[in-house]
């Protein structure tokens, strides 16, 4: 799995009809900054409202997943979201000039192909994984539906479907590595049974349905007059079918294509939790309603475990900047270089690490016999972390000095002692103007806030 966040290198557009609304729309994938997340934007509506890809925004599950925010809706988002998860894209703005993404061929493949034509961009921010801490279960006994998320240090999905159909029977599909999604899952198309078509039309759905963008499974003998009726339904001169099989004798791309498409839907719907998952997902007879209810259960656990404003530091992952790269940016040197790693850096936020050990020179004279890290040095380390953020805004940071101009609302919440790992987070409170930066700094040990302050600094060229 990718460790750092990704977006796309430049905009790319796909166009086509929406499956359920039948409205032709252009959908443009736009690059986005780190921590932006996945968002849709209805550029055809007044004010061009933005709709977050969030499970709490789901408002309808009629044969697809529909989200709404600020009165603006986007229908059938699951195939688009599945493509983004499959490519491990974290930050993107999806602009639509209609109510629904194009159905294309009924799979995620064409979205992936379009995105890969422009390419991906790695960003200086670690992905904010949600690692399932304990088994989560969801059941609908009346429909024999079960979903489970089990702890795992990667993302795997296994789906079983059973429609009691002589054509389909029982099918399984598995995704063991998210990197396999593009080749193994993305091309699997949406499907329905013949007996569902009339019902879907009566519900004012599948207005954009066509035999080129959906598989229609025929599990009974069909008379000629019914075939003529279906031809009119799909605006075709003729449709045909073997005794039992696929309408118009469409060839399946995989023997278990329906099961693979159900897996695709699970991946797309679970994207609505808002963070990439590390879990083993098991799904028996899933559907959009169950997927979304399960996603809500996962999100509620995320919220219960606490806010995500504390930067997640994983020492196993490579840093954004190591100690040598930090030394190339900051002028500080031993014993006053107080930052060991930078593990997150974007245009507004930086996060770094200081490993506190008994070998620190200040412990020799500060409270001998009772080693406590001086508060002023905690602030200095926090300021150096913020200095990385400020200096990242100029092309040649080695030619600049950073100076403190002010410290406000400084508080020390808990003592910091040898053995602690200090995690610093600094966030700009306003755009940098005339070399002046104001930022909020926080320091954490584990889940505890130990120090905070609002800092103002100036960057000055060394040759001035």
Q: Provide the annotated active-site residues.
A: 288, 366
Nearest to 442 by CA among 459, 456, 455, 431: 455
Q: For residues 373 and 415, what is the distance between their CA atoms, to the nearest angstrom?
A: 7
DSSP 8-state code for residue 433: B
CB neighbours of residue 43 within 10 Å: 13
User: How do 349-355 and 170-175 pair as beta strands?
Assistant: unpaired
Which residues are paired to 451 by β-bridges?
Answer: 412, 443
DSSP 8-state code for residue 321: B
Structure tokens at 239: 């449709």
Q: Residue 217: CA atoms inside 13 Å, Cβ hemisphere, count?
A: 18
Whether 383 and 336 have beta carbons less than 8 Å apart is answered as no
Structure tokens at 10: 């430049």
Give whole-number Cα distances, 75 to 22, 26, 53, 100, 417, in Å. Answer: 11, 14, 12, 5, 53
Q: For residues 312 and 310, what is the distance between their CA atoms, to the nearest angstrom?
A: 6
Whether 180 and 163 have beta carbons less than 8 Å apart is answered as no
Nearest to 174 by CA among 271, 276, 87, 283: 283
Q: For residues 65 and 240, what is the distance between their CA atoms, to the nearest angstrom?
A: 31
Q: For residues 270 and 291, what is the distance between their CA atoms, to the nearest angstrom?
A: 7
Structure tokens at 78: 């699951």
CB neighbours of residue 133 within 10 Å: 11
Nearest to 291 by CA among 2, 50, 104, 81: 81
For the chain, the residue count is 464
Give whole-number Cα distances, 413 to 46, 261, 420, 424, 442, in Å. Answer: 47, 51, 15, 14, 11
Whether 114 and 12 have beta carbons less than 8 Å apart is answered as yes
Whether 173 and 263 have beta carbons less than 8 Å apart is answered as yes
Whether 310 and 173 have beta carbons less than 8 Å apart is answered as no
Structure tokens at 431: 């755009």
Q: For residues 356 and 375, what is the distance between their CA atoms, to the nearest angstrom?
A: 13
């Amino acid at each position: 799995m990718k460790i750092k966040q990704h977006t796309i290198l430049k905009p790319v557009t796909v166009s086509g009809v929406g499956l359920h609304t039948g409205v032709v729309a252009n959908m443009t994938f736009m690059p986005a900054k780190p921590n932006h997340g996945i968002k849709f934007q209805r550029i055809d509506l007044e004010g061009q409202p933005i709709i977050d890809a969030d499970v709490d925004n789901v408002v309808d599950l009629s044969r697809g997943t529909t989200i709404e925010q600020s009165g603006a809706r986007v229908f059938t988002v699951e195939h688009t979201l599945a493509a983004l998860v499959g490519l491990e894209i974290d930050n993107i703005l999806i602009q639509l000039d209609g109510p629904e993404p194009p159905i294309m061929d009924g799979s995620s493949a064409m979205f992936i192909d379009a995105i890969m034509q422009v390419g991906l961009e790695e960003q200086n921010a670690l992905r904010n994984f949600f690692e399932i801490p304990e088994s989560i279960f969801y059941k609908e006994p009346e429909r024999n539906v079960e979903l489970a998320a089990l702890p795992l240090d990667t993302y795997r999905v296994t789906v079983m479907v059973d429609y009691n159909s002589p054509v389909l029977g029982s099918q399984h599909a598995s995704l063991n590595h998210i990197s396999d999604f593009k080749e193994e899952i993305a091309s699997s198309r949406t499907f329905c049974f013949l007996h569902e078509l009339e019902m879907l039309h009566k519900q004012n759905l599948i207005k954009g349905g066509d035999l080129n963008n959906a598989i229609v499974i025929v599990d009974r003998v069909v008379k000629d007059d019914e075939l003529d009726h279906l031809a009119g339904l799909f605006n075709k001169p003729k449709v045909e079918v073997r005794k039992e099989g696929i309408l118009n004798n469409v060839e399946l791309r995989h023997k278990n294509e329906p099961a693979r498409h159900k897996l695709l839907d699970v991946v797309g719907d679970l994207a609505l939790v808002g963070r990439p998952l590390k879990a083993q997902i098991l799904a028996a007879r899933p559907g959009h309603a169950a997927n979304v209810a399960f996603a809500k259960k996962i999100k509620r656990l995320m919220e219960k475990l606490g806010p995500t404003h504390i930067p997640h530091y994983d020492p196993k992952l490579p840093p954004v900047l190591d100690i040598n790269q930090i030394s190339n940016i900051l002028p500080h040197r031993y014993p006053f270089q107080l930052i060991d790693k930078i593990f997150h850096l974007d245009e507004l936020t930086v996060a770094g690490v200081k490993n506190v050990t008994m070998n620190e020179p200040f412990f020799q004279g500060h409270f001998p016999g009772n080693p406590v890290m001086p508060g002023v040095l905690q602030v200095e380390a926090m300021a150096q972390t913020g200095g990385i953020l400020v200096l990242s805004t100029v092309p040649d940071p080695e030619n600049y000095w950073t100076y403190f101009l002010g410290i406000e609302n400084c508080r020390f919440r808990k003592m910091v002692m040898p053995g602690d790992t200090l995690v610093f987070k600094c966030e700009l409170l306003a755009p940098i103007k005339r070399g002046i930066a104001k930022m909020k700094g926080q320091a954490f040990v584990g889940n505890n806030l130990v120090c905070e302050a609002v800092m103002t600094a100036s960057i000055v060229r060394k040759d001035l």
